[in-house]
A and B are shown apart, each in its own frame.
Chain A
Amino acid sequence: MNAVWPQLPALLVVIPLIAAALVALSRHGELAFALTLVVSWVLPFIAGAMLWQVLQTGPISYHIGGWEPPWGIEYRVDALNGFILVLVSSIGAVIVPAAWRSISFEITEGRLAWFYCMYLLCLAGLLGIAITGDAFNAFVFLEISSLASYVLIALGYDRRALLAAYQYLIMGTIGATFYVIGVGLLYLLTGSLNMVDIAARLGPAAPAQMPAIVAALAFLTVGISLKLALFPLHAWLPNAYAYAPSWITVFLSATATKVAIYLLIRYYFSVFGIAIDFAALPITEIVIVLSVAAMFIASLVAVFETNIKRMLAYSSVAQIGYITLGIGLANQAGLTGGLVHVVNHALMKAALFLGVCAIVYRACPVQLENLAGIGRKMPLAMAAFTIAGFGLIGTPGTAGFISKWYLAAGAFDKGWWPLVAVIVACSLIALVYVGRLLEVVWLREPSPGVAHATEPPASMLLPLIVLAAATIYFGFDTEWTVGVGSTAAKALLGGLR
């Protein structure tokens, strides 16, 4: 154990990467799934052990190949990315049992092994982005996860999945290229790629360097915002989520955008925090305006959407707006709220999309009118779905309430009353679209399309119930989410000048 312990940061990325190659070689669906299942369940323990160590003894620095940073690549785990790593790996572990039935139903048998290979590559990429302390290494992992997710989306059974994957590929590559331009400018300025070292070398920026730093910041913001689907750069997201295999939508909605949000937070606070005086530039104002636009406009679009996958996808854009609002507020309560909402939204959206996954598996229709009365046919699954829906609205007693409470407190601390009103108003719009969904699911007579639907198999039902239970649990016990979130927020804000 003592020999393994210091190698945990590397293992977190290396295990899924090697497993992906093994899975591809196996060429056999069952074998591939079994290996994926084992790997997915090992990772949260590694991530959890690292977070525990970070909270006990402070940040972990792991030198790849024994090369000292800043020359070598450093994996750096602190409270913030330890938190994200635990989130991503745990979501993967909880939902992976549901994959077998759902994916075997939606994808032809010959492609199963490739599917799990791509899933593991995507997971390795996402964990890599979160763990690395090297700006260029993050780009490589960004592309590993993105390329894998384009393939995963294209595997959807509808032909529009191909076009959705293509559009995501174009947008995602533009985003990644913008990111590389930003990193290149930072490299020209500092001669370093290590994030901590870049921040130290930039120092409080000299006026002569300001134009280049601001340009780098702008490129990085746009590039990462494309990946995290910040309004108005979200155009790829609804189609990608709607036509991807249902289970992949669960995975991507809960993890991919969250990791991109982490990267944005990392750049804003840890890399540019000292170099730029945020009060002197209108960055926070821009982020807040875009967040509010996302919350309002995407929620309104969700109200009128008739395809439930697209409705939930637009809701994701709106919820991402809440998280970036926390980033824009940039005070203790606001940033804590944003970070907590990263976890809460991941849990709730994973539960909701897993509910959709179950519906597709048992009944097929994803159009709202076809779903009439499905709650009476699969009461347990839809009850869990409903709880997650309430979480999305922000009902007290669910996790969604906690994060919105902190966000409102953050706006209140700044004395921005209208913003508090906006948060409440957007929750009311969420009430409209979630209410519309629940009305169809529970109150209508079962339609012929769902007549033969029954409860989903246990492998889908259990993850769904676990996620719904977590939505309620984190609505009462906030020690883990708010506790770690506020520790991370304090460390981030302490890095600002």
Chain B
Amino acid sequence: MPTLTSLIEHYNYFITIFLMMTGLYIVVARGNLLKKLVGLSIFQTSVYLLYIEPAKIIGGTAPILDPAFKVYSNPLPHVLILTAIVVGVATLALGLALVVRINEAYGTVEEHEIFERDRDT
């Protein structure tokens, strides 16, 4: 029984790990360059959860010094993830721009077709 309670208590981490694996699997398993980027985004986003979840304390307030409040949430992970979100957006935008250019150059965004066209020339 203790394992079951521990599972239920940490259900959010299992969701995070599930999302992580889903994202990574899509990156590896899909040949479509756009879908790979979707997978990459899911993978990155799951990491945001990994940081945010432990920072949330039930009943915790923002860290403002006041005698009325005793429990504070740590704001630092939120700040870190704000940075990570910006990085993720930049990566996704650059990835999509590259896919547009690849589509212009090859006329396809399917990996195996791209390899075929390179072999032909």
Whether a CB of chain B sits under 8 angstroms from the CB of A262 is no
- Quote the shortest CB–CB distance from B31 to chain A (angstroms): 12
The 8 Å CB contact of A166, one of B50, B77, B90, B99, is B99
Verify A173–B98 contact, CB threshold 8 A. Answer: no
Q: Is the interface of B mostly helix, strand, loop or mixed?
A: helix
Verify B80–A136 contact, CB threshold 8 A. Answer: yes
Verify B91–A154 contact, CB threshold 8 A. Answer: no
Total number of A residues with any Cβ neighbor in B under 8 Å: 26
Which of B1-9, B56-64, B100-108 lies at the binding interface?
B100-108
B51 partner residues in chain A, CB cutoff 8 A: 184, 187
B44 partner residues in chain A, CB cutoff 8 A: 173, 177
Verify B43–A154 contact, CB threshold 8 A. Answer: no
- Quote the shortest CB–CB distance from A174 to chain B (angstroms): 7
The 8 Å CB contact of B47, one of A150, A163, A177, A187, is A177
Between B36, B101, B118, the greatest number of chain A beta carbons within 10 A of the residue's beta carbon is seen for: B101
Whether a CB of chain A sits under 8 angstroms from the CB of B12 is no
Verify B47–A154 contact, CB threshold 8 A. Answer: no
A150 to B102, CA, bound (A): 14
Verify A174–B98 contact, CB threshold 8 A. Answer: no
The interface bits of chain A over 326-353 (1 if a CB of B lies within 8 angstroms of the residue's CB, else 0) are 0000000000000000000000000000
Whether a CB of chain B sits under 8 angstroms from the CB of A74 is no
- Quote the shortest CB–CB distance from A88 to chain B (angstroms): 22
A136 to B87, CA, bound (A): 12
The interface bits of chain B over 20-45 (1 if a CB of A lies within 8 angstroms of the residue's CB, else 0) are 00001001000001001000100110
A181 partner residues in chain B, CB cutoff 8 A: 47, 50
A188 partner residues in chain B, CB cutoff 8 A: 54
Verify A174–B43 contact, CB threshold 8 A. Answer: yes
Verify A170–B94 contact, CB threshold 8 A. Answer: no
Contact residues of A between 137 and 164, Cβ < 8 Å to B: 139-140, 143, 147, 150-151, 154, 159-160, 162-163
A174 to B21, CA, bound (A): 12
B101 partner residues in chain A, CB cutoff 8 A: 154, 162
The interface bits of chain A over 184-199 (1 if a CB of B lies within 8 angstroms of the residue's CB, else 0) are 1001100001000000
A176 to B84, CA, bound (A): 11
Nearest-CB residue, chain B, relative to A188? B54
Verify B47–A169 contact, CB threshold 8 A. Answer: no
B43 partner residues in chain A, CB cutoff 8 A: 174, 177
Q: Which residues of B contact A (CB under 8 A)?
A: 24, 27, 33, 36, 40, 43-44, 47, 50-51, 54, 77, 80, 83-84, 87, 90-91, 94-95, 98-99, 101-102, 105-106, 114, 118
21 residue pairs from A and B, CB less than 8 Å apart: A140-B87, A143-B91, A147-B90, A147-B91, A154-B101, A159-B106, A162-B98, A162-B102, A163-B118, A165-B98, A169-B91, A169-B95, A170-B27, A173-B40, A174-B24, A174-B40, A174-B43, A184-B50, A187-B51, A187-B77, A193-B80
Please give me the 7 A-B residue pairs with the lowest Cβ-Cβ distance, nearest first: A159-B105, A143-B87, A166-B98, A162-B102, A162-B101, A184-B50, A173-B91
Q: Which residues of A contact B (CB under 8 A)?
A: 136, 139-140, 143, 147, 150-151, 154, 159-160, 162-163, 165-166, 169-170, 173-174, 176-177, 180-181, 184, 187-188, 193
If A139-B84, A139-B87, A140-B87 are given as contacts, then 18 extra A-B residue pairs at C-beta distance below 8 Å, sorted by A number, are A136-B80, A143-B87, A147-B94, A150-B94, A150-B98, A163-B118, A166-B33, A166-B95, A166-B102, A170-B95, A173-B40, A173-B91, A174-B27, A177-B47, A180-B47, A180-B84, A187-B77, A188-B54
